[in-house]
Amino acid sequence: MKLMHARLALAAIAGREVHKFLRQPGRLASSLVRPLLWLVVFSAGFRQVADLGGVIPFDPALDYRLYMAPGLALMVCLFNGMQSSLAMVYDREMGVMRLLLTAPLPRSYLLACKLAGGAFLSVLQALVFLILVVLWGIGLSPLQVLLGLPVLVLSALMLSAFGLVLSVYIKQVENFAGTMNFVIFPMFFLSSALYPIQRMLDAGAHWIYWLAAFNPFTHAVEALRYAMYGEIAGRSLAVVLVSTLLFYLVAAAGYDPQRGLSKTARPG
C-alpha cells in the first residue's frame, strides 16, 4: 500500500465521518446534554451522599463534580463509539459498506481509518464537554484537560474499537436499542465513573465489584482521572491499551471474509 493511497483513504473514510457529524449540529448538542445533566442535576443531590474518602488521587475536600468529570467525558466517548457502530450498521444496510470492503486496501487498514474517524469525533466532543466544565468554574483547570488529553485519545480509540466489534454482531439498526440496555448502560454503571468501585465492596456487592474491576471502562476512567492530576495509572493504562488492541483484532477478524461476514451474510 502506497503512502499516498493510505492518506487518501484515511481522508475519505475519516473525513466522511467528520462531514456527517458537521452536517448534524444537533448531534453535538445531544452528546453534551447527557453528561451535563449528570453533572448538574445528578450531582446536585448525590454529592451530599457520595463518600470519596480514600480515593487516590482525588482529594475528598474537592467538589464531587470534579470527581465525575473524567467519567462523564468518557461517557461522551462511549456514546460516540456506539454512534459510529450504528453508522456502520446503517452503512451495511444501505450498501455503502460493500463499497468500502471492496476497495483495494487491507481490511485492517479500512477499519483503522474508521477507528481514527470515530475516535477523532469522540475526543472533539469530550473536549468541548471538558471546556464547558472549565468555564463553569468548579475547579477544573485547562492544564488538567491538557494533561488528560493523551489518555482521552487512547480511551476514545478503545471505545471506538469496541463500537467496531459491536458493528460486526449487530445485524440491523433496529437492534441498537438493545445494545444501549445490554452494553452501554452496564458498561457505564459498572465503573468508577460516578463513585469509587471500592464502595461496592464496602456495601458487600462483591460480584458487582469484580465486574466493575474487570470493566475496561473503569480503567479508562481511572487512567484519565490520574492523568488529570498529573499522575500515571500504569495498570489502568495497560488495560486500556490491551483492550484497544484486542477489540480492534476481534473487529478485524469479524470483517474477514474467511471468518466473519462469510458466516453470517445472507446468500443470494
Partner 1 sequence: MSFASLFPASLEINNLSKSFGARRAVDGVRFSVGTGEFVALLGPNGAGKSTLFQMLSGLFSADAGYANIAGIDIGTAPILALAKLAIVFQQPALDLDLSVAANMQFQTDLHGIPRPQAQVRIAHWLARFGLTDRTNDACRLLSGGTRRKVELARALLSAPELLLMDEATVGIDPASRASILADVKALCHERGMGVLWATHLVDEAENADRIVVMVAGKVRFDGSPQELLKTGKHANLTAAFLELTRTAGEKA
Angle at 223 between CA 218 and CA 224, to 5 degrees: 100
Give min distance, CB of 253 to partner 1, in A: 13
User: Of the two residues 96 and 213, which places its CB atom closer to partner 1 in the complex?
Assistant: 96
Query: Is 26 a residue that touches partner 1 (CB under 8 A)?
Result: no
Asked whether 13 and 113 are in contact (CB, 8 A), the reply is yes
User: Of the two residues 164 and 200, which places its CB atom closer to partner 1 in the complex?
Assistant: 164
Q: Which of residues 229-258 bind partner 1 (CB under 8 A)?
A: 257-258
Query: Is 137 a residue that touches partner 1 (CB under 8 A)?
Result: no
Cα distances (angstroms) measured from residue 197 to each of 25, 49, 60, 148, 237 = 36, 15, 15, 21, 17
Is there a cis peptide before residue 142, judged by omega within 30 degrees of 0?
no
Angle at 112 between CA 268 and CA 159, to 5 degrees: 100
Stretch that binds partner 1, among 17-25, 77-85, 120-128, 176-184 (CB under 8 A): 17-25
First to last CA, the chain: 32
Interacting residue with partner 1 among 25, 95, 137, 204 (CB under 8 A): 95
Interacting residue with partner 1 among 99, 143, 146, 242 (CB under 8 A): 99
User: Directed axis angle between helix 64-94 and helix 25-37, to 10°?
Assistant: 140
Phi, psi for 196 (deg, rounded to 5)? -65, 140
Q: Where are the beta strands (DSSP E) in 105-236?
A: none
Residue count of the chain, please give it.
268
Give min distance, CB of 28 to partner 1, in A: 17
Burial of 23 (0-12, 13-18, 19+ CB in 10 A): exposed
DSSP code for 62: S
User: Of the two residues 1 and 203, which places its CB atom closer to partner 1 in the complex?
Assistant: 1
Give min distance, CB of 249 to partner 1, in A: 19
Query: Is 104 a residue that touches partner 1 (CB under 8 A)?
Result: yes
Residues binding partner 1: what is the number (CB under 8 A)? Answer: 32
Give min distance, CB of 13 to partner 1, in A: 8
Burial of 204 (0-12, 13-18, 19+ CB in 10 A): exposed
Interacting residue with partner 1 among 38, 72, 84, 98 (CB under 8 A): 98
Query: Is 32 a residue that touches partner 1 (CB under 8 A)?
Result: no
Cα distances (angstroms) measured from residue 27 to each of 23, 24, 75 = 9, 6, 15
Query: Is 19 a residue that touches partner 1 (CB under 8 A)?
Result: yes
Interacting residue with partner 1 among 45, 137, 204, 267 (CB under 8 A): 267
Interacting residue with partner 1 among 25, 102, 137, 177 (CB under 8 A): 102
Interacting residue with partner 1 among 5, 142, 178, 231 (CB under 8 A): 5
Residues that bind partner 1 (CB under 8 A): 1-2, 4-5, 8-9, 11-13, 16, 19-20, 23, 94-96, 98-106, 257-258, 261-262, 265, 267-268
